[in-house]
Structure 1
Amino acid sequence: MDVLPMTLDELESAINEWLSQGATDIFLSEDQRTRVRINGEVVPVNDSTMSRQDLIRLWEACEIDPASANEIDSRYQMKNGGYIRANLYRAMGNLSAAIRPIKAIIPPLDSLGLPTDLIRHWIHRRSGLILVTGTTGSGKSTTLASALEELNESRQSHIITLEDPIEYLFQNKKSFFSQRELNSDTAKFSTALRASLRQNPDVIMIGEIRDEETAQLALRASETGHLVISTLHSSGVVESIERLGNLFPENHGATSRMLLSRQLIGVINQNLLSGTDGSLKLVSEYLQNEGAVRGWIRDGRYHDIIDHLQRPQDGQTRNMLTSIVETYHQGLISEEIARDAAPNPGDFDRQIRGIS
């Protein structure tokens, strides 16, 4: 297939055009049609095919030698001042790239559809651990960024972020940011987290807690007077708490649960669903750690937390089914999408029909 190569300026212009049309991800591969992700769906771009020379030009602009590298993350600043994150890789020998913008505009916390007052209460605590959880593509990074921007506009703090990769760029306002990226600025989260405790932070954001060492350091940081905000890959509030506890060896389980019960402020679990208008709609469940909940976490009585989430909602607790049913009744998501997303489709059917 003969494809006319682009100049770097033309390639940047095309990327900016796709981003302006709402693309959150751009997929390039030599001699293949360009595809973009819009509202969660991957769709082809009409009349756009990348040549090998186009991909070589992109790799070299990212200061990566296409003759020697197989896969690598890179950050690139375009001529308009915007940044992109490019994962450069080979697919069946062909040069390819997955591109995502590094955003400079951070959505306000109260625009996300989350319990704004509750989150504000959490993030203005001087110490403790806040978890934002969900599966891949559920908007966790945006929630973290919006929460930190809320602090940036209201509190004089030193905020250290440990990210893989950086997805939002913060401008110092009342707070001062030290944004650090895995691989380019540090070897691993645990190393950076240990070092950050010597950098006099007030707030530490960890892109994701993935292992025992990072989990232990996050809890210790929260115990020694720091507010720690992080994500965890999980599908529910209770699963998040249990999964964090399970990162520790069995012989340390009781000690770790005790520390978690003392330091955890709250957990949000969220998901993004295809809306009836073609956009994505956020649904969430959340739990504030207080009162009896602390004892249940300490004792590993997760079934009691599950029961607690099913009780009438009090503004500090909400289960995912309630959120999905509310979003469905507002006409924002279809019955099919709502049922598929419900933890138990049968419970969803009973709720929308008023059967307890």
Structure 2
Amino acid sequence: MSLGGQEMLSSQARVLGEFLVERHVLSRDDLAIAMAEARRQSEPITQVLIRNGLVGEKDLTAALAETVGLRFIDFTETPLHPEAATTIPESVAREYLAVGVDFDGPRLIVAFADPGNDAGVVAVGQATGYEIVAAAGSRYEIGHALDQIFGVASVAQQGSGGLENPDGAPVLDVNELLAMVIERGGSDLHLTAGSAPVIRVNGELKPVEGIEPLNGSQIREIIYAILTQKQREKFENELELDASYTLPGRSRFRLNVFLQRDSVGAVMRAIPFEIVELSSLGLPAAVERFADLPRGLVLVTGPTGSGKSTTLASLIDIVNKTKALHIMTVEDPIEFLHTHKKSVVNQREVGEDTHSFSNALRHVLRQDPDVILVGEMRDLETISTALTAAETGHLVFATLHTQDAPQSIDRIIDVFPAHQQQQIRVQLAASLQGIVTQQLIPTSDGKGRAVAAEILAATPAVRNLIREGKIHQIYSVMQAGAKHGMVTMDQSLAALVREGKISREIAFERCTNEEDLKRLIQSGGF
């Protein structure tokens, strides 16, 4: 799109730049550098942005339309009126790269690749008999729309307006990128401006070869293509979005969309369709006992990416297969999908099925649950309601981002005001059943990861220590609690070293106490 041959004024350049920043495809830093270069070289800002690969043709067209007060048609968001789309004869539509979008009373709204071409607007008006309302559109998207309306054109018909991407880069399909994640045994796909797509494999980030660094326009296009209109609006209002996405027949993905340096970024984590058997996860046998409890609170904790969701899904699946109960889950987003087996399972997604964890939990006790899964205990109200549910005869599973069992207990208590903390200690001592803390460790052969897990079982001794506020003494009880199925993180790491699954070096990086770990490795026992 051009400005009808007029030289862009500095005020228009500022409007264009601000629009691109607000569209989340260009950072303010890059805009300032580009404007300085444009002044230094005495050339339009548009040429600088395109030459440096900072934005794509579609976003630049949208920005140019904004500067001259024209409507921009985004074909990924605007459905075409069937009659409007076929009103323009094919020969005229292809010659002037024009697509009928909709009717506005007696007028026809038409997206042009160059709405500043008065001859094209007149020609379309004469060919259709309508008064034309000219709008701007991406040259690539208009060419694609014409091929969908009239069939794929020959090279001669396409002329300068065919389907070749004007940005000179391949049009990336997010499904192809996600298929690479699955094929390479990866866990996450990272998309960020200025970098090629990156896949995490066995804990290590690896760029996808053969793909050039992506600009903000490309990232926005890739991500917005898989979001619903409601999700786009939520992201643009809140600047954050958690959602899920399904790669048909292959896997589900947990999607987080965010802004960084004014551009869209995203991370997509693979979630297998099939729920893994707990016995296949490499966790201690004591963990399975938690699925057989009639009531109480069970926490699964650990850093991001440590497999907490996988462990919880396996525990819920055991309940689902063995007991006739009602299971309610509150997740953000829903990750593993549970089918009704022996139990009835209802899964609620924050943002889609409920407004928040706390809001869902306020009502959950009226829904006749036996087992409740809380995706994450984030705030005082959520924690308080989860404790009440566990105390009143429900089995509650939940997660925390904590590094060990004592820290998890402190985290729960510290959320509450000082005057309530003794009451919470008593409540937690009565309702807590166990804590599983886990982390994934790269294996010695570099071909996978092994799980190291710490297990706390709520024995009478542990309950007394919680009630009396002597949390620091719990670790000693765990060290001597093997007969109750308890294991410390250092004991778990030492076992993995002795079995040759992980190296001593990485075990010492991840341990709680280096001297304890050294002694455990040398002694060959707990």
- Fold similarity call, TM over 0.5: yes
Cα deviation 1:172-194 (Å, max 9, x = unaligned): 21122111122222222111111
Matched, 1:133 2:296: no
Alpha-carbon offset, residue 14 of structure 1: 3.1
Which residues in structure 2 correspond to 1:46-125 (within 5 Å)? 46-49=209-212, 50=214, 52-53=217-218, 55-64=220-229, 65=232, 68=236, 70-80=239-249, 82-116=251-285, 118-125=286-293
Distance 1:159 1:312 in 2: 31
Distance 1:102 1:121 in 2: 25
Contact 1:102–1:169, Cα closer than 8 Å, also in 2:
no
SS of 1:287 mapped into structure 2:
strand
Which residues in structure 2 correspond to 1:130-209 (within 5 Å)? 130-209=298-377
Distance 1:207 1:85 in 2: 13
Matched, 1:274 2:442: yes
Superposition RMSD in Å: 2.4
Cα deviation 1:15-41 (Å, max 9, x = unaligned): 223223212111123563110111111
Contact 2:442–2:502, Cα closer than 8 Å, also in 1:
yes
Residue segments in structure 1 that go unaligned for 5+ positions in a row: none
Alpha-carbon offset, residue 218 of structure 1: 0.7
Per the alignment, do residues 85 and 291 of structure 1 end up closer, same or farther by CA in structure 2, a change over 3 Å counting? closer
Residue segments in structure 2 that go unaligned for 5+ positions in a row: 1-52, 54-166
Say which of 469, 474, 477 aligns to 1:308. 477
Alpha-carbon offset, residue 141 of structure 1: 1.0
Alpha-carbon offset, residue 82 of structure 1: 4.5
2:493 paired residue number: 324
Name the structure with the higher helix share: 2
Distance 1:3 1:46 in 2: 18
AA aligned opposite 1:318:
V
Per the alignment, do residues 90 and 217 of structure 1 end up closer, same or farther by CA in structure 2, a change over 3 Å counting? closer
Contact 1:5–1:53, Cα closer than 8 Å, also in 2:
no
Contact 1:6–1:54, Cα closer than 8 Å, also in 2:
no
Matched, 1:43 2:216: no
AA aligned opposite 1:334:
S
Distance 2:265 2:463 in 1: 48
Per the alignment, do residues 239 and 30 of structure 1 end up closer, same or farther by CA in structure 2, a change over 3 Å counting? closer
Contact 1:30–1:55, Cα closer than 8 Å, also in 2:
no
Distance 2:219 2:304 in 1: 30
Contact 1:127–1:226, Cα closer than 8 Å, also in 2:
yes
SS of 1:151 mapped into structure 2:
helix
Per the alignment, do residues 342 and 84 of structure 1 end up closer, same or farther by CA in structure 2, a change over 3 Å counting? closer
Distance 1:348 1:336 in 2: 11
Per the alignment, do residues 204 and 242 of structure 1 end up closer, same or farther by CA in structure 2, a change over 3 Å counting? same
Distance 2:511 2:476 in 1: 17
SS of 1:270 mapped into structure 2:
strand
Matched, 1:333 2:498: no
Alpha-carbon offset, residue 87 of structure 1: 2.3
Contact 2:479–2:486, Cα closer than 8 Å, also in 1:
no
Matched, 1:32 2:195: yes
2:385 paired residue number: 217
Distance 1:310 1:74 in 2: 40
AA aligned opposite 2:491:
T
- Which structure would you say has the larger RCO, counting Cα contacts within 8 Å and 6 or more residues apart? 1
Matched, 1:261 2:429: yes
Distance 2:258 2:224 in 1: 10
Distance 1:14 1:261 in 2: 47
Identity of aligned residues (%): 36
Greater C-alpha radius of gyration: 2
Cα deviation 1:53-82 (Å, max 9, x = unaligned): 564154133125599564423333444475
Per the alignment, do residues 348 and 204 of structure 1 end up closer, same or farther by CA in structure 2, a change over 3 Å counting? same
1:13 paired residue number: 176
Q: Scaled by the length of structure 1, what TM-score is found? A: 0.91
Alpha-carbon offset, residue 124 of structure 1: 1.6
AA aligned opposite 2:304:
T
Name the structure with the higher strand share: 1
SS of 1:46 mapped into structure 2:
coil
Q: Scaled by the length of structure 2, what TM-score is found? A: 0.63
Report the count of equivalent residues. Answer: 353
